[in-house]
Amino acid sequence: MILADYSQVALASILSFKRELQGTESEVKNLIRHSILSTLKSYKKKYGKEYGELVICCDGRKYWRKDIFEHYKAGRKKTRDQSDLDWKLIFDTLSEIRDDLQAHFPYKVIHINEAEAEDVIAVLAKWAQENDLIQVGLESEPQ
């Protein structure tokens, strides 16, 4: 199982095109879509034979950590506000692509409201170690 943190994959791939994110709304959306889909496809192609299916783990809208520590990720909004990028357009596009991935692509997409992608990754990694065993000779072992 290949566990991908959708937000990290998406932001890393689109921010490499920062200058190109200044075009029309349609151009920006197409660039973001192409960038994310190409990156996910490359992960599946590179690691799929060895590790199996691609599971896209997404951040929920609200984080449980913020209930415990009110300043959790507080600095990010300030940084985004100072940026010249259209973050509303970027996040809206990321949501659209996430929904498209879930509806039209052969990947599993996990999106839980109060969990972050790393929470999902931790739970799935632990589950895989105990349940998703592979046959090695006469014995089964964790992946």
Residue-wise pLDDT tens digits, 10-63: 989 888 877 777 778 888 888 889 999 999 999 999 999 988 899 999 988 777
Assign domain 2-142 to a CATH class. alpha beta
Residues pairing with 49 in the sheet? none
Neighbours of 77 (CB within 10 A): 10
121, 57 Cβ separation under 8 angstroms: yes
Whether 142 has a pLDDT exceeding 70, the answer reads no
Neighbours of 59 (CB within 10 A): 22
Neighbours of 34 (CB within 10 A): 13
For the whole model, what pTM was predicted? 0.81
Q: Read off the pLDDT band of 67 (50, 70, 90).
A: confident
Highest mean pLDDT: which of 3-7, 18-22, 134-138?
Answer: 3-7
Neighbours of 26 (CB within 10 A): 8
